[in-house]
Amino acid sequence: MPPRDDSDDDGSFDPPLPPADRLWRHPSEMAGAGAPGPGSPGPGHTPAARRVIWSTAIGAGVAGVALTLGALAITGTFSGAVATRVVVEKVAVSPVVSSPLLRDDRGVTVVAERLAPALARLVLTQPQGSTAGTAVIVRTDGMLVTSARLIADAEAIEVVLADGRRFEGQVRGLDPFTDVAVVQIAATDLPVAILGSSTDLVVGAPSVAVGSALQSGSAPWVSSGVISAVESRIPAGDESLHGMIQTDTPIGETGGGGALVDANGSVIGILTPIGTAEASGFAFATPINLVGRVAAQLITYGYAIHGWLGINCTDSSAATTLALNIDGGAEILGVRTESPADLAGLRAKDTITEIDGEPMESASSIVVAVRDHRPGDAIAVGYWRDGQHIDATLIVGEQPRTRR
């Protein structure tokens, strides 16, 4: 296979948990097998004492809810400027349910039913005609995330909610480097999706793809499969998408911008409309952690900020890895003048193998590692030149961005 050329420019409900497994329990559950236990009300317990116990229990419950949801109110992960009203997001506290939902076909249906109110159908007016896609509601004040490539050429966007209401969608911002976009509608008190985590995803874990229906009033399309790869690279025109989730879960006609969901029913990725050819048998999604970071910037600034070194590189050849006795790396094809890499002395034919002490086994892994840094961060880069290993410190720059 020829080397790849990459650039960093680029309802059934489960029974509740047993009392011993829960963080909070009703006072009556503190006794064992019906006998009074420590803290259980005895025969002489007065109504006033029972009120004290119930006040304490209610207070503990309220405190627990506040600790869980406190960070989700006001602005939250996808927040922009501080709002005058409460804006809510839902972030999963693992596990979301006492056991995974995806135990059978009924579980897949339950996942889709729970997520359906937080999905919207996008009707896009484009130069070549109309098309449709999906967006996921992530904030109660009308912020939706979807695929940047899906809406990039849209001249008008109509957003159709699950309850049939229709709104004009406004693009808050889009980022082609990660295929993330935010669309805003003039609505409040919307149902929102529960967002999970894309950290430590396991290959072979079950996944469900869910998207909006083609027609109003219809159920969303849903399909199931497994996560087949993580940190995947897929071609996207003149550039590539890096660090994507790959799944064998087929997606429907309105799949772009839909949700990839885990076994607990939490969104772990936003589906991209590219790289889903029939022959490949795979679909791809931008990891939800990356979606969250990028969406927050799009809401605040209208664009996303990514770290950048100014190099164009490709995966190391088999000959290079053998000669240097390394597991992999990225050979630099070119360095942009006055870029962070140029200022640090890197040049073409150098082979990068580490960033901040972590092994870099491909050009794509370098893109993923660097884009998570803020401009101005100092990073340690280890590379090979003429058989010698060299360590250098680079000051991360800001990736040139494409504005809509």
- Position 274 scores a pLDDT of 81
Q: 3-class DSSP state for residue 19?
A: helix
DSSP single-letter state for residue 9? T
User: What is d(CA 247, CA 118) in angstroms, rounded to the nearest whole number?
Assistant: 22
Q: Residue 85: its pLDDT value, please?
A: 44
CA-to-CA separations, 157 to 184, 192, 300, in angstroms, rounded: 10, 20, 21
Which portions of the chain are predicted below pLDDT 50? Answer: 1-4, 9-17, 19-76, 79-86, 92-99, 102, 277-279, 403-404
Give the C-alpha separation, 218 to 220, whole Å.
6
Query: What type of residue sits at position 236?
Result: A
Q: Burial code of 62-77, b = ≥16 C-beta within 10 A, e = fewer? A: eeeeeeeeeebeebbb
DSSP 111-140: HHHHHGGGEEEEEEEETTEEEEEEEEEEET
* H or E element, residue 297: helix 288-301
Q: Among residues 263, 209, 228, which one has the least CA distance to residue 98? A: 263
* Cβ atoms 193, 137 nearer than 8 A: yes
Give the other-Cβ count within 10 Å of 284's Cβ: 25
Angle made by CA atoms 145, 149, 155, in degrees to the nearest 5: 90
Q: What angle do CA 17, 18, 19 make, to 5 degrees?
A: 110
No. of helices (H) and no. of strands (E), the chain: 7, 24
Domain ranges of the chain: 74-303, 307-398
Q: Residue 382 has what pLDDT? A: 97
Distance CA 136, CA 121 (A): 9
Question: Do residues 289 and 196 touch, judged by C-beta distance below 8 A?
Answer: no
Alpha-carbon distance 52 to 58, whole Å?
A: 10
Cα–Cα distance list, 285 to 18, 207, 259, 368 (Å) = 36, 11, 8, 15
Within 13 A of 64's CA, how many CA atoms are on the CB side? Answer: 11
Q: Which residue has the tokens 């229990």?
A: 57
Round to whole Å and give the CA distance between 75 and 85. Answer: 10
Tell me, what amino acid is at 104?
D
Q: How far apart are CA 343 and CA 205, in angstroms?
A: 43
Nearest Cα neighbor of 7 from 402, 357, 371 is 371
Gap between the Cα atoms of 195 and 295, Å rounded? 13
Which CATH code of 2.30.42.10, 3.20.20.80, 1.10.600.10, 3.40.190.290 fits the domain covering 307-398?
2.30.42.10
pLDDT of residue 62: 41
Ranges assigned E (strand) in 216-258: 221-236, 239-247
Residue type, 87: V
Position 281 scores a pLDDT of: 72
User: Which pLDDT does position 106 carry in this prediction?
Assistant: 67
- Rounded Cα gap, residues 30 and 15, in angstroms: 19
Tell me how far apart the 2 most distant CA atoms of the chain are, in Å: 86
Q: Is 74-303 a domain of CATH 2.40.10.120?
A: yes
